[in-house]
């Protein structure tokens, strides 16, 4: 396993981010991930602030919902972050929660088609290419970035269903899986991603798989974990989440890594009472137990 991190959940107010991300940087955590959940915090704005407040921690955003974003704007913002903070941003896009997209008038009839078109154009723009495309959803006429990233940058995509997972294998550099993914689910996702890579003729860099792991520690950890899983209708799914001390959490991380995860990101419960303490726990107690 090459990566380990934690999530700053957008249920926390944006002004709380500064203390959490600075602690992640100082404590040696590899990565801190942010979410662009409707209608909470903007992914790019919070990522820019987090990167500016820190020196070394990598900042992930998973996911940026593509129905909300013109691909040229996504590319401009991604390129700016990568040029200002080389090697530290990790950006992932997805087709978004369809109910939320409907609320803002951005629901696509074919979310998978939109995601494919967005990924293809985004990766080309970030590679410094001039792009002309007239797709079902993405339309660009001779668009090129004046300031593309100075080096190649990966573009990740979130996926759950088989079609989306094959698509990420075909059109993205990596895949982000939700906390509803058990070790067996990671293995199944890997197979589907590999099918997509084979169909696209990918032979280059390996495809990174990032998995969120719902985790709780401290007082009432087991109860908080059960409540979070029940709220998502996942309380009867075996192998999801972990509650306990650093040893128990590290074992759950390793199970996901052995199943094919390259990066595991601890996701605190929605009612985590001490977000700073959770980040410190991940960095100072769990991370030393991982290879």
What value does the mean pLDDT take over residues 60-87? 97
Q: How far apart are alpha carbons 270 and 268 in whole angstroms?
A: 6
Whether the predicted model's global pTM rises above the 0.95 cut: yes
Maximum Cα interatomic distance, the chain, rounded to a whole number of Å: 57
> pLDDT-based confidence at 73, cuts 50/70/90?
very high
- How far lies 250's CA from each of 11, 212, 223, in Å? 25, 13, 19
Q: Among 109, 108, 94, which Cα is nearest to 171's?
A: 94
Give the pairing type, strands 31-34 and 3-8: parallel
User: Quick one: pLDDT at residue 70?
Assistant: 97
Q: Which residues contact 41 (CB under 8 A, 6 or more apart)?
A: 10, 14, 34, 35
Q: Answer yes or no: is pLDDT of 126 > 80.
A: yes
Overall average pLDDT of the 51-79 stretch: 97
Q: How much is the pLDDT for 50?
A: 98
Q: Does the pLDDT of residue 248 top 70, yes or no?
A: yes
pLDDT score at 2: 79
pLDDT for 205 equals: 84
Q: Is the dihedral of CA 123, 129, 130, 131 positive or negative?
A: negative
pLDDT of 278 higher than 80: yes
pLDDT-based confidence at 1, cuts 50/70/90? low
Q: What is the pLDDT of residues 171-194, one digit of tens each?
A: 999 999 999 999 999 999 999 999
């Amino acid at each position: 396993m090459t990566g380990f991190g934690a999530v700053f959940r957008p249920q926390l107010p944006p002004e709380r981010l500064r203390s959490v991300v600075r602690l992640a940087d100082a404590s040696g955590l590899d990565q801190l991930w942010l979410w662009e959940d409707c209608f909470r915090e903007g992914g790019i704005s919070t990522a820019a602030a987090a990167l500016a407040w820190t020196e070394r921690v990598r900042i992930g955003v998973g996911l940026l919902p593509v129905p909300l974003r013109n691909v040229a704007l996504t590319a401009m913002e991604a390129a700016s972050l990568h040029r200002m903070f080389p090697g530290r941003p990790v950006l992932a896009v997805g087709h978004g929660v369809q109910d939320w997209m409907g609320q803002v008038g951005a629901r696509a009839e074919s979310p998978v088609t939109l995601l494919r078109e967005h990924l293809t154009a985004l990766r080309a723009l970030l590679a410094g290419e001039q792009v002309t495309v007239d797709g079902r959803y993405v339309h660009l006429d001779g668009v090129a970035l004046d300031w593309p990233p100075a080096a190649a940058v990966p573009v990740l995509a979130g996926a759950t269903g088989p079609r989306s997972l094959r698509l990420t294998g075909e059109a993205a550099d990596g895949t982000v899986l939700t906390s509803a993914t058990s070790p067996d689910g990671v293995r199944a996702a890997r197979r589907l991603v590999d099918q997509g890579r084979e169909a696209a003729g990918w032979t280059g860099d390996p495809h990174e798989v990032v998995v969120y792991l719902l985790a709780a520690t401290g007082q009432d950890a087991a109860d908080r974990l059960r409540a979070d899983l029940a709220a998502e209708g996942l309380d009867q799914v075996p192998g999801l989440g972990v509650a306990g001390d650093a040893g128990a959490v590290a074992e759950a991380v390793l199970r996901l890594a052995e199943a094919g995860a390259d990066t595991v990101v601890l996701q605190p419960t929605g009612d985590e009472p001490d977000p700073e303490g959770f980040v410190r726990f991940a960095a100072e107690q769990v991370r030393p137990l991982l290879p």
